[in-house]
Amino acid sequence: MTDDTAVIQALADAQKTGEPVALATVIHTQGSMPRHAGSKMLIRANGETIGTIGGGAMEAKVIQAGLEALRTGTPKLETYTLNNLDDGDPGICGGTAQIFIEPYHPPKTVVIIGGGHVGVAVAGLAHWMGYKVVLSDDRAEYCNPSLVGGLADYVVCMPQDVPQYVTIDAQTYIVAVTRGLPIDLALLPALLTTPAPYIGVIGSRRRWALTYKALSETYPLTDDDLKRLHAPIGLEIGAETPKEIAVSILAEIIMHQRGGTGAPMRDMPQDEK
């Protein structure tokens, strides 16, 4: 197996297991360089590598750039000139290389708490969109593959116990489509202890106002907490059916994830479309 074949296989394996990695590819060289265009190296989150793009100080710099790309989630195009070590160049071969560094993160997770009509619709749409989807309910008949198949997991537990059974990290988006205020009062404090960047709560403005008032009496809500709580959940698109509401919810998650505004595209400045 060649080095590049091993890199491609390792990348495929990482995608299957959900391991975050960065792929460095030499896309252009000029002059004397140790590796040609197309050479690849995989960089793991712990700094370990598979393959090589030339070794030495240049490779060490590429590894650091790969770790930075993993941290930010942003691809990078770097140029390295191997002319003079005294000038800070990573080598003395005399050539120049352009290297594209691309982070590969596992799919983001959508955790849906509540397996009613809206929860099932959200689960199906999120799965279709490529998210890793976990469905949870305290009733087994509302949380199983017969309702919506192919999900990553089906967790039957009390809503407030979800963080004990599901890994919730900074790449996890939570959709709480629960049955009412008493459940939310037990659930939301548990969710706020997690690093989830988005916690959406279904219900009318009146229900959320009552929930907020009752929650504030027992839980010290901060401004940061309120930024993470999206209630009522979703974008205002006039949705009525469970599937339409699912579109509204996933649209808000995408907006939060990508930094969008939710404004109509026709109202955006020409250079931003």
Task: Determine the 3-state secondary structure of 227 from DSSP.
Answer: helix
Strands 132-137 and 109-113: what pairing?
A: parallel
Alpha carbons 135 and 144: distance in angstroms, whole number:
8
Element spanning 124, H or E: helix 117-128
Produce one character per residue of 108-140: b if its CB has 16 or more CB atoms within 10 Å, e if not.
Answer: bbbbbbbbbebbbbbbbbbbeeebbbbbbbbee
Backbone φ and ψ of 199, nearest 5°: -130, 105
Q: What is the pLDDT along the chain (273 residues), one digit of tens a residue?
A: 567 889 999 999 998 888 899 999 999 888 777 778 889 999 999 999 999 988 888 889 999 999 999 988 889 999 988 755 444 444 545 578 899 999 998 889 999 999 999 999 999 999 999 999 999 999 999 999 999 999 999 999 999 999 999 999 888 999 999 988 889 999 999 999 999 999 999 988 999 899 889 888 888 888 888 888 999 999 999 999 999 999 999 999 999 998 899 999 888 776 655
Distance CA 255, CA 232 (A): 15
Looking at CATH, the fold of the domain delimited by 109-258 is given as Rossmann fold (3.40.50)
Domain edges within the chain:
3-104, 109-258
Q: Where do the DSSP E strands lie in the chain?
A: 21-30, 40-44, 49-51, 76-81, 96-104, 109-113, 132-137, 153-156, 172-176, 198-201, 229-230
pTM, two decimals, is 0.75
